Structure 1
Amino acid sequence: MAFLGDDQLHSLLDQLPALAGQPRQLEELSGGLTNYNVKITTSTATYVARCTDTSNNLLGIDRDNEFHNTKAAAEAGVGAPVIDYRPDLGILLIGYLEGITLENKDFGRPGVITRAAQACRALHAGPRFRDDFDMFERQPEYLKTVLDKGFRIPSDYLEYADRFASIERVLTATDRSTLPCNNDLLAGNFVDDGEKIWLIDYEYSGNNDPCFELGNIWSECRLSLDQLDELVSTYYGKTLRHKIARARLQGIVSKYGWTLWGAIQSASSPLDFDFWEWAMERYDGAVAEFTGPDFDRLLEDAQADD
Structure 2
Amino acid sequence: MEALLDRIPVLRGLPRSVVELPGGLTNQNLRVTTPTDDLVVRRFRGDAALLGIDRDAEHLNTRAAAQAGVGAPVVDYRPDLGVLVIGYIDGTTYDNGSFASPDALARAGRAVRRLHDGPRFTGDFDMFARQAGYLRTVQERGFRLVEGYADHGPAFRRVQAALAVRAAPTVPCNNDLLAGNFVDDGTRVWLIDYEYSGNNDACFELGNTATECDLDDDQVEALLAAYDGRATRSRLARVRLQALVSAYGWSLWGAIQACASTLDFDFDSWGRERFEKAARGFTSRGFDALLEEVARAD
Count residues in correspondence: 298
**Quick one: distance in 2 between partners of 1:244 and 1:94?**
35
Say whether residues 1:25 and 2:17 are aligned partners. Answer: yes
Is this contact kept in 2: 1:82–1:95, CA < 8 A? Answer: yes
Could you tell me which residue of structure 1 aligns to residue 230 of structure 2? Answer: 238
Q: Does 1:67 align with 2:75?
A: no
Deviation string, structure 1 residues 98-121 (Cα, Å, up to 9, x no partner): 101100000001301110011001
Cα deviation per residue 1:202-222 (whole Å; 9 max; x = unaligned)? 000000000000000000000
Aligned to 1:125: 117
**CA distance, structure 1, for counterparts of residue 215 and residue 46 of structure 2:** 34
- Indicate whether 1:255 and 2:247 are aligned: yes
How do 1:108-147 and structure 2 match up within 5 A? 108-147=100-139
The structure-2 alpha-carbon separation of the partners of 1:56 and 1:238, relative to structure 1 and needing over 3 Å to count, comes to closer
Given residue 159 of structure 2, which amino acid in structure 1 is its aligned partner? I
User: Partner of 2:105: helix, strand, or coil?
Assistant: helix
Distance 2:211 2:253 in 1: 15
Give per-residue Cα distances to partners, 1:134-179, cap 9 Å, x unaligned. Answer: 1011000000000000000112101110100011011122114100
CA distance in 1, matches of 2:9, 2:71: 22
Distance 1:127 1:158 in 2: 38
- Give the AA of the match of 1:69: N
| 2:84 alignment counterpart | 92
2:160 to 162, 165, 168: 168
The aligned counterpart of 1:47 is 39
Q: Is the 8 A contact 2:46 2:261 kept in 1?
A: no
Gaps of 5+ in 1: 1-8
Amino acid at match of 1:184: D
Aligned to 1:58, what secondary structure does the other structure show? Answer: helix
Q: Which residue identity does 1:207 align to in structure 2?
A: N
The whole-number CA distance in structure 2 between the counterparts of 1:54 and 1:278 is 17
* Structure 2 unmatched ranges of 5 or more: none
Give the equivalent residue in structure 2 for 1:82.
74
Question: 1:29-69, CA deviations, whole angstroms, 9 ceiling, x for partnerless residues?
Answer: 11100111100011111100010136663100000000000
RMSD: 0.9
The alignment's TM-score, normalised by the length of structure 2, stands at 0.98
Q: Percent identity?
A: 54
What does the per-residue CA deviation read over 1:66-100, in whole Å, with 9 as the maximum and x for residues that have no partner? 00000000000000000000000000000000101
**Distance in structure 2 (CA, Å) of the matches to 1:51 and 1:219:** 27
Asked whether 1:212 is paired with 2:213, we answer no
Deviation at 1:299, TM superposition (A): 0.4
Partner of 1:184: 176
Q: Distance in 1 between matches of 2:212 and 2:282?
A: 17
Question: What is the match of residue 107 of structure 1?
Answer: 99
Q: Deviations over 1:226-275 (max 9, x none)?
A: 10011112211112110000000000000000000000000011111100
